[in-house]
Amino acid sequence: MAAQKKLYIKTYGCQMNVYDSERMAEAMGGSGYVRTEVAEEADMILLNTCHIREKAAEKVYSELGRMKPLKTAKPDLKIGVAGCVAQAEGQEIMRRQPMVDLVVGPQSYHRLPEMEQTVAGGAKALDTDFPVEDKFAGLASRPKAARGPSAFLTVQEGCDKFCSFCVVPYTRGAEVSRPADRIVQEARGLVEAGVRDITLLGQNVNAYHGAEGGLAGLIWQLADIDGLDRIRFTTSHPNDMDDALIAAHGDCAKLMPYLHLPVQSGSDRILKAMNRKHTAESYLALVDRLRAARPDLAMSGDFIVGFPGETDADFEDTLALVRAVGYASAFSFKYSPRPGTPAAERDQVAEAAKTERLARLQALLAEQQTAAQEAMVGKEVRVLFEKPGRMQGQIVGKSDHLMAVHATGPERLIGQIAPVRIVSAAPHSLGAELL
């Protein structure tokens, strides 16, 4: 084996990038790299990037600018850009920042070890293909090292929905599902390494079709794994929520009562312009069906304000939808025009209106989140403890509803699920007593 070298990875964007960063680090392990948290000591730096909004993409170039002195101090340092900016900008990145040695798209990172050989020889390496071979099959199996109790597991990639604002179909490519047996095998390995809570990931995870019965079928297969106690999945599109998946929320005890189901807008006119292919009413009807299956389901969502053509009345419809659903948590963004997407070419909403709408929406969502947190006080819930808290003697973890909970308790409970009673609520965390 080659001498040990150090790899620093900085991850931006969604949970799929977090998973990909782990897999890239593991792939580079075979080339003698170990991961470091200190950029200054790295032999290779990889930025795993996000292209979803303008600010996310800009961050990459400012971070590369900040890395210049590192490269000056250590000319052998290799700098790579991975992820969705790599896919979207490709060669342009090396043109703007000639010190970048390597650019690798999200579907090609199984080729990283070869690319490392190329850059070690002093050449540049660029790979933004959507290769026909299966990326996951090309990656070495995952190491058996002990892990924390929660993990991500990508089961599906890409998107065929083409919402008119979104770059993901271009950066991640067409929908692809991993075969169920590989996923079950990977999940078993994670459980052997100490994982008890798995979040299945996909840009459109409920479009998963690699198992009989779709995502619900896969969830039922995973529910058979002893030692795996909690299953979650994200992110879903409303139109791919089939009957079996709705039913699983009521019938599968390991499927947790939390669902991230982005709607983007409450105005049918805007939903149509977004090419979402659902209405506000069909979304609300879906939420009703999910809550009929699982009455305590905690809902989360994504919203965009200031989409081209959005009027005050359209925005009021979004607020009305939010009031009708009652979200336990949510993410909301100003519309950001993305190059190459249809909506970027349309007449844009003034920045001041976007700012004002975002503030009003976020105030309402914050109110709902506080209400959801406070409604937990007095309840007995199960917490998977994940790590020591910031205060002496404290341990922190997540409830079934994915709320952060802290309690005074012994560190031996880390990695365990324990019953607690919630005694206090803050906007982002709950205080509890062990039972």
Of positions 27, 67, 84, 248, contacts ligand F3S by CB under 6 A: 84
48-56, 192-200, 264-272, 392-400 -> range binding ligand F3S (CB under 6 A): 48-56
Consult the annotation and say whether 252 binds a ligand: no
CA 134 from chain centre, in angstroms, equals 21
Q: For residue 162, what are the CA distances in angstroms to 52, 55, 237, 266, 343?
A: 13, 21, 12, 19, 11
Closer residue to ligand SF4 (CB): 125 or 321: 321
Structural contact between residues 322 and 262, judged by C-beta atoms closer than 8 angstroms: no
Q: Which residue is nearest to ligand F3S (CB)?
A: 13
* Structure token pair of residue 113: 């070890």
Q: Is 47 a residue that touches ligand F3S (CB under 6 A)?
A: no
Of positions 168, 305, 403, 407, contacts ligand F3S by CB under 6 A: 168
Residues 6+ apart with CB under 8 A from 414: 149, 385, 386, 387, 388, 395, 397
Which of ligand SF4, ligand SAH, ligand F3S, none binds 53 (CB below 5-8 Å, type-dependent)? ligand SAH
Structural contact between residues 375 and 92, judged by C-beta atoms closer than 8 angstroms: no
Q: Is 16 a residue that touches ligand F3S (CB under 6 A)?
A: yes
Q: Is 173 a residue that touches ligand F3S (CB under 6 A)?
A: no
Q: Is 202 a residue that touches ligand F3S (CB under 6 A)?
A: no
Of positions 172, 196, 278, 334, contacts ligand F3S by CB under 6 A: 172
The angle at the Cα of 80, spanning 30 to 28, to the nearest 5 degrees, equals: 5
Amino acid, res. 88: A
Q: How far is residue 380's CA from residue 394's CA, in Å, rounded to a whole number?
A: 19
Q: How far is residue 330's CA from residue 126's CA, in Å, rounded to a whole number?
A: 37
Give the position of tokens 């083409």.
162
Which of ligand SAH, ligand SF4, ligand F3S, none binds 354 (CB below 5-8 Å, type-dependent)? none
Closer residue to ligand SF4 (CB): 150 or 203: 203
Give the position of tokens 């390597």.
102
Give the position of tokens 């062990």.
434
Which of ligand SAH, ligand SF4, ligand F3S, none binds 336 (CB below 5-8 Å, type-dependent)? ligand SAH
- Strand pairing report for 404-408 and 417-425: unpaired
Amino acid, res. 183: I
Q: How far is residue 136's CA from residue 19's CA, in Å, rounded to a whole number?
A: 12
Q: Residues, the chain, total? A: 435
Q: Is 287 a residue that touches ligand F3S (CB under 6 A)?
A: no
Q: How far is residue 15's CA from residue 203's CA, in Å, rounded to a whole number?
A: 10
- Comparing C-alpha atoms, which of 254, 182, 244, 173 is closest to residue 215? 244
Q: Is 17 a residue that touches ligand F3S (CB under 6 A)?
A: yes
Closer residue to ligand SF4 (CB): 92 or 160: 160
* Structure token pair of residue 334: 């100003």
- Give the interface with ligand SAH as residue ranges (CB under 6 A): 52-53, 165-166, 168, 203-204, 235, 237, 262, 264, 302, 304, 333, 335-336, 338
Closer residue to ligand SAH (CB): 150 or 336: 336
- Give the interface with ligand SF4 as residue ranges (CB under 6 A): 159, 161-163, 166, 168-169, 203-204, 237
Q: Which residue is nearest to ligand SAH (CB)?
A: 302
Which of ligand F3S, ligand SF4, ligand SAH, none binds 338 (CB below 5-8 Å, type-dependent)? ligand SAH
Closer residue to ligand SF4 (CB): 327 or 333: 333
Closer residue to ligand SF4 (CB): 44 or 52: 52
The dihedral sign for the CA sequence 232, 233, 237, 243: negative
Minimum distance from CB of 147 to ligand SAH (Å)?
26
Which of ligand F3S, ligand SAH, ligand SF4, none binds 169 (CB below 5-8 Å, type-dependent)? ligand SF4
Residue 8: how many CA atoms within 13 Å on its side-chain side?
A: 14
Q: Is 171 a residue that touches ligand F3S (CB under 6 A)?
A: yes
Q: How far is residue 209's CA from residue 193's CA, in Å, rounded to a whole number?
A: 27
- Strand pairing report for 417-425 and 380-388: antiparallel
126-134, 164-172, 285-293, 334-342 -> range binding ligand F3S (CB under 6 A): 164-172
Which of ligand F3S, ligand SF4, ligand SAH, none binds 151 (CB below 5-8 Å, type-dependent)? none
Q: How far is residue 336's CA from residue 339's CA, in Å, rounded to a whole number?
A: 10
Annotated binding residues for [4Fe-4S] cluster, written as ranges, equal: 14, 50, 84, 159, 163, 166
Which residues bind to ligand F3S, rule: CB under 6 A? 13-14, 16-17, 50-52, 83-84, 167-168, 171-172, 203
Annotated binding residues, written as ranges, equal: 14, 50, 84, 159, 163, 166
